[in-house]
């Protein structure tokens, strides 16, 4: 049994956008590794969900892709944020911050609140 949980549904897009915001252009495998490393290897990126998420983000205009050569001299598709992607990552980050504040209220309810 694998002790690393998969990335939660709904969070992968934000993690991809934040990763590209931080690193710039990166290929799919590199995005997956960056997400795993950022989580201190506590999360596992499922490639069966990563590539459809990348395609969806590209179709929505949040990322753009181009072909290039990876560090190990293989052809790879690289992704980078678009202007719309920069706005979207900001919006999604704010939404997740607000949602985690709401969930935190349920995990640590204040005494005396009804």
Looking at domain 12-107, does it have CATH number 3.40.50.150? no
pLDDT, mean over the chain: 91
> Domain residues of the chain, as ranges?
12-107
Burial status of residue 112 (CB atoms within 10 A of its CB: 0-12, 13-18, 19 or more): exposed
C-beta neighbour count of 16 within 10 angstroms:
29
Q: Does pTM surpass 0.75?
A: yes
Instruction: List pLDDT tens digits, range 4-35.
Output: 767 766 799 999 999 999 999 999 999 999 99
For residues 21 and 92, the answer to whether their CB atoms sit within 8 Å is no
Q: Distance between CA atoms of 104 and 99, rounded to whole angstroms?
A: 9
- ∠ CA 20-8-79, nearest 5°, is 20
């Amino acid at each position: 049994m694998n002790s690393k949980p998969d990335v939660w549904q709904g969070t992968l897009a934000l993690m991809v956008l934040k990763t590209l915001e931080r690193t710039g252009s990166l290929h799919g495998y590199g995005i997956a590794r960056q997400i795993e490393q950022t989580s201190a290897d506590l999360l596992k990126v499922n490639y069966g969900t990563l590539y459809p998420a990348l395609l969806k983000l590209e179709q929505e205009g949040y990322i753009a892709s181009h072909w290039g050569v990876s560090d190990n001299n293989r052809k790879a598709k690289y992704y980078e944020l678009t202007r719309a992607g920069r706005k979207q990552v900001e919006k999604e980050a704010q939404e997740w911050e607000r949602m985690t504040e709401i969930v935190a209220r349920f995990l640590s309810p204040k005494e005396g609140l009804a």
